Amino acid sequence: MFILASCSTERKLATQFIKTGSHKSVLILAPDFIYKTSLKKDILDSLEITDETLFDSVLFANSLFLKEIDDSKFIDNYLLGLEKELKVFGLNVFREDRTADFMEVDSNAFIINVAQLEVEEDYYFYRDETKYYDNYFYHDHQLNSATVNSWFEISKINEDQNTRQVYFTEDVVIDDVDGEFTLDLFNSEVKYFFTIDTLKTDELYDYAYLLGRTYGGYTFDLLLNQYLDDALQRPSEDRYWRYDPNTKAFFTATDDKFVPLEN
């Protein structure tokens, strides 16, 4: 009964927070560039590179897509998705070129600083598998992957910079593989056919936009839960609520949220 009452109170406060969304303003700050790291270190052995001072440059030069990424285009798409999703939640969104206007709003305002972005290129090992008559068959793929690491600083306006919390999140996109096992009923021979759509740079720009949309939701959820923490004096590790603006539904988060980093 205590748990049910607690949930009911939190839902009521969360609903109140949603209704006042249009009274909240956020300023988005962008990074100047993207960090790019290739983890495909096998190329160093194949080229017989032993000088450690050359490792990073050789890995970058031999990357599949890192060397092709336009930082400005990637960041613009990322911020466009972030801004659009925040507006879906009813927030007033300001970009950096409107900082002066943002500083004139009331105290119910927050700064969202995308402090750092990193794209890592690596391999992703994927096993496609099936069973025929209790016999196990599989095919292993070595795919290309791009992991996007993001660091956010999200704080109330005029909050002490030294006390700002840093949040982290990562997501990965890989080559698209389409595989199919077939069984010849006459000789019981199993064959495997597949095609691979290799990850392309243009797809990463689209992915950046989708990540911005996703993290816009994470940001709103963070502000919602900070509000509940303050209003109820509840432990920060208690239930973490998420809100779907399309269905108007609340649900609890698992891994789909920012991870706070130790200061």
- Which CATH number covers residue 15? 3.30.160.150
Task: Specify the pLDDT at position 112.
Answer: 97
Residue 41 lies in a domain: no
Residue 56 lies in a domain: no
* pLDDT tens digits, 142-169: 999 999 999 999 999 887 766 789 999 9
Residue 43 lies in a domain: no
The residue range of the domain holding 87 is: 2-34+69-260
Residue 63 lies in a domain: no
Residue 114 banded pLDDT, cuts 50, 70, 90: very high
Q: Is-contact 98 137, C-beta < 8 A?
A: no
What is the DSSP secondary structure assignment for residue 157, as one 8-state letter?
Answer: T
Residue 20 lies in a domain: yes
Cα distances from 24 to residues 76, 112, 219, 229, in angstroms, run 23, 13, 13, 18
Task: Specify the pLDDT at position 237.
Answer: 59
What percent helix, strand, coil does the chain show, rounded to 5?
40, 35, 25
Residue 64 lies in a domain: no
Residue 77 lies in a domain: yes
Q: How many domains does the chain have?
A: 1
Residue 97 lies in a domain: yes
